[in-house]
Structure 1
Amino acid sequence: MLAGEGAVAIWNDIAKAGRAEFYAWHLHEHMPERVGIPGFVRGRRYRAADGATQPEFFTLYETSSFQVIQGSDYLSRLNEPTDWTRATTAHFQTTTRSLTRVVASHGVGSGGAMLSVRFDIADDAVHDMVPRLTSALEAAARLPRISGAHLLRSDAGVSGQSTAESKDRKDLLAPARWVVLLEGCDVDAFGAALALLQQFTELREAAVGRYLHEHTRLKTAWQVG
């Protein structure tokens, strides 16, 4: 299961010139900074498992509640980016960032592989589809090599809020409105789980990515400055 009721999901590519700097910044400043914010409990980064998965990187921050993502502590970090953050994010490409509520989370824990599914649900179909999708994810979480199955709903207003960190960036794309995350022991575990989701027409044309775990950052008291 996820570690809280809120999550920040980020997909991005990195220009070749900034790749080494991205790894150093993400490991030694950015993830410690984010997970150091009150209410942030875990950060995880994944890298594409195959050439068909785009963008290359997927990062997931889990928060105790959705209110944490809306709070002043997180907003203050977004409005006071470090020089290292400004320099590194200048190399970001095709970035999608969704601030989400955890609608459902099933399973026994995290996995070494992550599958992300970005899609949309028509507003008039949400009431009918979400309970059925949640039931399908619960069934997926019981499969032998699936450790977690989660449904996230983005808040468009909060996700699209302009901050000092996002100002003038050209890489930012529209937030994903709905996200399914499957966690498994390996990327081959996802086939059976995806078969359970094929009943939903909204997911058949979704953006699907298969990722391998690179790094986890747990709670820390680290602070910038």
Structure 2
Amino acid sequence: MTEGLLFVLAEPGEVPEDEFHDWYDNEHAPARLSVPGIRSGYRYRALDGERPGWLAWYELDIDALHGPQYQAIRNRSPREQSVVERLDTLDRRVYELIDDQGEPVRESPVVLSVALSTPDPAGLDTWYREEHLPLLLAIPGWHRIRRYRRVAGPGPDLLAFHEIDSVALFDAVEYRTATSTPWRAEVMGGVTARERRVFGFHNTVPGS
């Protein structure tokens, strides 16, 4: 079994918000939770003013995405086809887990996603393990950090997915220290792509 993350960014565009949420909560997401190996799903709204404005993420066994049950639900209903055609964005990414630190939090109030590409992934990994993760996880309210490698979909190659209590932590002295060390500056100087997004909890997918 390969532990993974299905990470889906969406922007409703021409779809009215009520219709978007009704489709996602009552058709699209529950269908995914019906697939063996997809264990839980959560929906979050953007807190950073950026677009796409919605994130859905699912904890799963990556093999579940290749089985017949998942392939069957990817055959869209007429309603789903209509919604998807009107979305501004539907950005689907699949990641495999490479590291998990801290304590799990169900329905984390805030998640921070930082996606990076670098020509030196080993150096990035060493920095995370030896400096960055210990500094962040020492901050009260910074609960868990999972790191992933992208296996399907667009975007940078590596993802750090943080579960935290509040955006107020970004103003903490400890956070400013963790993000301003000489080692971090050296590592980030070699990064070729970076996406940083902040989302707040919206709901748990029915069936999780």
CA distance in structure 2 between the aligned counterparts of 1:134 and 1:218, rounded to whole angstroms: 35
Give the Å deviation of 1:195: 5.2
CA distance in structure 2 between the aligned counterparts of 1:211 and 1:153, rounded to whole angstroms: 20
Once the two structures are superposed, the pairs formed by residues 3-152 of structure 1 within 5 Å of their partners are: 5-51=3-49, 53-63=50-60, 65-78=61-74, 80-110=75-105, 111-122=108-119, 125-135=120-130, 136-152=132-148
- Structure 2 match to 1:180: 160
CA distance in structure 2 between the aligned counterparts of 1:218 and 1:35, rounded to whole angstroms: 8
CA distance in structure 1 between the aligned counterparts of 2:158 and 2:66, rounded to whole angstroms: 18
Structure 2 contact 28–80 (Cα < 8 Å) conserved:
yes
- Structure 1 match to 2:178: 196
CA distance in structure 2 between the aligned counterparts of 1:143 and 1:38, rounded to whole angstroms: 36
Give the Å deviation of 1:35: 1.1
Structure 2 contact 116–192 (Cα < 8 Å) conserved:
no
Residue correspondences, number: 196
Among 196, 199, 204, which residue is 1:211 paired with?
199
Structure 1 contact 97–176 (Cα < 8 Å) conserved:
no
Q: Which has the larger radius of gyration?
A: 2
CA distance in structure 2 between the aligned counterparts of 1:217 and 1:206, rounded to whole angstroms: 28
The residue type equivalent to 2:29 in the other structure is: M
CA distance in structure 1 between the aligned counterparts of 2:62 and 2:135, rounded to whole angstroms: 26
Q: Secondary structure at the match of 1:188?
A: helix
- 1:98-146 CA-to-partner distances (Å, cap 9, x unmatched) read 1110111222223201111122122xx1233223324423542332011
| Higher deviation after alignment, 31-40 or 12-21 | 12-21
The residue type equivalent to 2:24 in the other structure is: H
CA distance in structure 2 between the aligned counterparts of 1:215 and 1:113, rounded to whole angstroms: 12
Q: Secondary structure at the match of 1:45?
A: strand
Q: Secondary structure at the match of 2:88?
A: strand
CA distance in structure 1 between the aligned counterparts of 2:20 and 2:129, rounded to whole angstroms: 35
TM-score (normalizing by structure 2): 0.82
CA distance in structure 1 between the aligned counterparts of 2:78 and 2:134, rounded to whole angstroms: 43
CA distance in structure 1 between the aligned counterparts of 2:72 and 2:164, rounded to whole angstroms: 35
Q: Which runs of 4+ in 1 moved over 6 A?
A: none
TM-score (normalizing by structure 1): 0.76
Could you list the runs of 5+ residues in structure 2 that have no partner in the other structure?
Answer: none
- Judged with a 3 Å threshold, the aligned counterparts in structure 2 of structure 1 residues 46 and 188 are, in CA distance, closer, same or farther, namely same
Could you list the runs of 5+ residues in structure 1 that have no partner in the other structure?
Answer: 161-173, 221-225
